[in-house]
Amino acid sequence: MSSKLHWVLLAVWSIILTSSVLYLSTLKAKLFDVNGLLLSNAMDTEFDHRFTSLIEETLGTRNGAVVHFTMDNCFCEYVAESHVMSVKNLASEHGFKNHVITLKSNNRFNIPSVPAVAVINQNGKLSYLGPYATGMFCSEGEGIVEQYINDNTEHNELGATILTDAQGCYCNLG
């Protein structure tokens, strides 16, 4: 290769690297429930029941389901991809069925951000609703949802854990 080609390739590589660093530096931890919509809805004592009924209406099932909420063109989902796959595998190992729902803004589930997940136990009760993890990289070590899949007993009489105050890499829907 000629010397000129080396310099051109180095310049292109430098531009790509600089652009990537600048883009990643614009990312910062965001609140999962930035407007408090999920929090205000979850205060209703019938929220868990309404949510699982909506899941059943949409998917035709609700017992033993892990519902993965996604949206198009969300960089944070790419970042969390390996964690999401590990959650799907864990859910399958524990007898849950994985379902994916692609959301748009103002969705009827009132999910404020993605990536998000809901765990509905084998008795049809909502156990967990919120992000997979906290932190900028939503990695497996920072996972939250796994404990609700691993512990499939119905011992929370107060209702589901609905995590609204998490901070991390999330794409807000509304």
Find the radius of gyration of the CA atoms of the chain: 19
- Tell whether 64 is covered by a domain: yes
- Tell whether 16 is covered by a domain: no
- Tell whether 15 is covered by a domain: no
Domain range enclosing 39:
29-172
pTM of structure: 0.80
- Tell whether 150 is covered by a domain: yes
How many alpha carbons lie under 13 Å from residue 164 in its C-beta half-sphere?
Answer: 16
- Tell whether 121 is covered by a domain: yes
- pLDDT value of position 27: 59
Parts of the chain with a pLDDT under 70: 1, 21-27, 137-142, 152-158
How far out from the chain centre does Cα 118 lie? 9
- pLDDT value of position 21: 66
Nearest one of 58, 172, 34 to 104, comparing CA atoms: 172
Using CA atoms, how far residue 12 sits from 1, 66, 86, 136, in Å, is: 16, 43, 35, 28
Composition of the chain by helix, strand, coil, percent to 5: 40, 20, 40
- Tell whether 145 is covered by a domain: yes
Note the pLDDT tens digit of each residue in 116-131: 999 999 889 999 999 9
Residues 42/76, Cβ–Cβ less than 8 Å: no
Q: What is the CATH number of the domain that holds 115?
A: 3.40.30
Residues 51/126, Cβ–Cβ less than 8 Å: yes
Residues 129/160, Cβ–Cβ less than 8 Å: yes
Number of domain units in the chain: 1
- Tell whether 59 is covered by a domain: yes
- Tell whether 5 is covered by a domain: no
- pLDDT value of position 26: 56
CA dihedral 102→110→107→73, nearest 10 degrees, is: -40
